[in-house]
Chains A and B, each alone.
Chain A
Amino acid sequence: MTVSGNENKKVAVLGAGMHEWGKWGRPFVEYGLAAARDALADAGLGWRDMQFVSGADTIRNGYPGFVSGATFAQALGWTGARVSSVYAACASGAVAIANARAQILAGLCDVALVVGADTTPKGFFAPVGGERKDDPDWLRFHLMGATNPTYFALYARRRVDRFGASEEDFAQVKVKNARHGLANPYARYRKEVTVDEVLGSPMVADPLRLLEICATSDGGAALVLSSMEFARRHAGGASPLVTIDAVSTVTPTFPNTVIEMPNFATDSAAAFDSAGSETAGGFRPSIAAAAYAEAGIGPEDVHLAEVYDLSSALELDWYEDIGLCGEGEAEKLLRDGATTLGGRVPVNPSGGLSCFGEAIPAQAIAQVCECVWQLRGSAAGHQVEAARVAVTANQGLFGHGSSVVLSR
């Protein structure tokens, strides 16, 4: 079901904007609005120019969060713009981008605003309230006490037992990302950490320590997207022009044999000959693969990547899942410095979730914002030199892939 690459699938990114990540507990609309206004200003366009508004929903902020597109439109002032509001867990932002892109590519609109923002509670993410014995997300807490970090830790442990990853490797990911994020004005945490500090932080879910697990944050991110035709007519935009060349929002392929949050069990491969199957590696490797195929490129063409480091160890899984190296080779890639700023293919030059914490519906949009600034050469203090192609990757609960390829 691979969709082939096509030059006509490009959309232009005219504007990118973010509200700083942090923990203030203010209404999510405030963060989204600030990001939207920044993106519009960056594009040199006004809110009244937007023909379509695509919101990424938050499920922890009541009804306004479930209809985020309309919530942001109302906050900006009703203009009659068409609207979409979408939830896809951590992939919500990518699906919001995909919806705007589809409208543009179908010729239904020329220019669209994409916004995602969140306000989050302290501590472990707990399930939405009420007793729901048919909801696996409720049941995994009730029956197993399986918090999000315990799932991340299952993947981390496999790297230790199968590939010889060390606690120091995981800590080095954190050290790298902390350094990357130092100069990023949107990052919540801008402080260098040492390996000793990481290894001295409390163990949360063995082998993952407190400083290696992504926090939950407030934040907002926005993009102004347009048709290539509109971008050519519109002279006010930033130079060079950055384009989105592919958006992958794939679901898993049966049988998905890697345990995933919030499930109790994987698919069964009993009725399936999985030898040599493309599903053998589980869901994650298929996410960026679909984006590469759509963009007509391969991982060797990528100059930087923004990946979802929900844990330090998970970033290493992503190196393999987006094709930067083979299975079991991520620790070597890290140790060689390839994924550090100045290396062959810097990963998370923004500082990643390690420096941001996760603002769920904003995060996939923020990944794209960072890539836009990197490709324009305007990521002051954390710039990847001469970057022309970037990829983002993330995975949302309940089978949501998210990967975006950008170029200039």
Chain B
Amino acid sequence: MGEAGAVRARVPAVEGWFTTGDDGAPPALMGTRCEGCGTFAFPAESQYCRNPDCASTSFAPVELSRRGRIWSYTDARYQPPAPYVAADPYVPFCLAAVELAAEKLVVMGQVVGGVTVDDLLVGDEVELVVETLYSEDGTDYLVWKWRPLGSGQEG
């Protein structure tokens, strides 16, 4: 830990997939909406629309809904292999597949730290946040995660 006050660089672990919220606006996944048929895509589409009846090549960048409902969830009790960069010692985390109503698609992501599967249920509402995925050489590499919106049990 140490070096309190030192400014650490914050860099998305993957370029162009999400906004970090560092500019004051809430973070969001960056997808596209087909200008021909309205089909959404995540990650962003630039070449072709997945709709077999649409030949459009124009895709508008869009921020996806920041809230959704859990389609399903699990956890990773054992350390995943590289290229996952795990903390040492390894800390298990939850994963959730989240259904976005407006986009009618399901997006996966880790659940924020400190949550266990016992805190989750299919259908629960969650919100997108950005957290550190791993740190290397003074840089925090960021990723999107899902944060449960509480089930009324929180104080």
B-contacting residues of A (Cβ < 8 Å)?
A: 123-124, 126-127, 131, 133, 138-147, 150, 153-158, 161-162, 202-208, 254-255, 257-259, 263-272, 274
Which of the 9-residue segments B3-11, B19-27, B97-105 touches chain A?
Answer: B97-105
**Is B50 touching A254 in the complex (CB atoms < 8 A)?**
yes
Contact among A142, A150, A274 with B74 in the assembled complex (CB-CB below 8 Å) = A150
Once the chains are docked, how many angstroms separate the CA of A154 from the CA of B34?
A: 29
Once the chains are docked, how many angstroms separate the CA of A254 from the CA of B48?
A: 14
A267 and B95 in contact, given A142-B84, A158-B72, A206-B117 (Cβ under 8 angstroms): no
Once the chains are docked, how many angstroms separate the CA of A206 from the CA of B95?
A: 10
Q: What are 26 of the A-B contact pairs (CB < 8 Å)?
A: A133-B14, A140-B108, A141-B82, A142-B13, A142-B84, A143-B13, A144-B95, A144-B108, A146-B80, A157-B122, A202-B77, A205-B77, A206-B117, A207-B74, A255-B51, A259-B71, A264-B42, A264-B107, A265-B105, A265-B108, A268-B40, A268-B50, A268-B103, A269-B105, A270-B38, A271-B37
**Is A265 touching B42 in the complex (CB atoms < 8 A)?**
yes
Across the A-B interface, the 10 shortest Cβ-Cβ residue pairs? A153-B74, A145-B80, A268-B40, A161-B122, A126-B81, A269-B104, A271-B38, A142-B83, A154-B72, A268-B105
A268 and B104 in contact, given A124-B81, A142-B84, A154-B97 (Cβ under 8 angstroms): yes
Contact among B50, B77, B108 with A259 in the assembled complex (CB-CB below 8 Å) = B108
Once the chains are docked, how many angstroms separate the CA of A85 from the CA of B91?
A: 42
Residue numbers in B under 8 Å from A208 (CB-CB):
74
Would you call B109 an interface residue if the criterion is a C-beta within 8 Å of the partner chain's C-beta atoms?
Answer: yes
Residue numbers in B under 8 Å from A207 (CB-CB):
74
Residue on A with the closest CB to B13? Answer: A143
**Is A127 touching B83 in the complex (CB atoms < 8 A)?**
yes
**Is B83 touching A131 in the complex (CB atoms < 8 A)?**
yes
Would you call B30 an interface residue if the criterion is a C-beta within 8 Å of the partner chain's C-beta atoms?
Answer: no
Residue numbers in A under 8 Å from B133 (CB-CB):
143
Residue numbers in A under 8 Å from B13 (CB-CB):
142-143
Identify the interface centre among A144, A162, A207: most chain B CB within 10 Å of its CB. Answer: A144
Would you call B106 an interface residue if the criterion is a C-beta within 8 Å of the partner chain's C-beta atoms?
Answer: yes
Would you call B28 an interface residue if the criterion is a C-beta within 8 Å of the partner chain's C-beta atoms?
Answer: no
19 additional contacts (CB under 8 A) given A158-B122, A205-B75, A264-B43: A145-B80, A145-B84, A145-B93, A147-B76, A147-B81, A150-B75, A153-B74, A153-B75, A154-B71, A154-B74, A158-B72, A161-B121, A206-B117, A254-B52, A264-B107, A268-B40, A268-B50, A269-B104, A271-B51
**Is B95 touching A162 in the complex (CB atoms < 8 A)?**
no
Chain A binding surface SS class:
loop
Once the chains are docked, how many angstroms separate the CA of A274 from the CA of B104?
A: 10
A205 and B50 in contact, given A259-B97, A269-B104, A270-B103 (Cβ under 8 angstroms): no
Number of residues in B with C-beta < 8 Å to the partner? 48
Interchain nearest-CB distance for A254 vs B (Å):
5
Would you call B86 an interface residue if the criterion is a C-beta within 8 Å of the partner chain's C-beta atoms?
Answer: yes
Once the chains are docked, how many angstroms separate the CA of A204 from the CA of B62?
A: 36
Residue on A with the closest CB to B86? Answer: A145
Identify the interface centre among B52, B93, B104, B123: most chain A CB within 10 Å of its CB. Answer: B104
**Is A147 touching B80 in the complex (CB atoms < 8 A)?**
yes
Once the chains are docked, how many angstroms separate the CA of A128 from the CA of B72?
A: 27
**Is A257 touching B82 in the complex (CB atoms < 8 A)?**
no
Residue on A with the closest CB to B36? Answer: A271
Interchain nearest-CB distance for A255 vs B (Å):
7
**Is A141 touching B84 in the complex (CB atoms < 8 A)?**
yes
Residue on B with the closest CB to A136? Answer: B43
Residue on B with the closest CB to A126? Answer: B81
Identify the interface centre among B43, B84, B117, B143: most chain A CB within 10 Å of its CB. Answer: B84
Interchain nearest-CB distance for B38 vs A (Å):
4
Interchain nearest-CB distance for A153 vs B (Å):
4
Residue numbers in A under 8 Å from B52 (CB-CB):
254
Residue numbers in B under 8 Å from A206 (CB-CB):
74-75, 77, 117
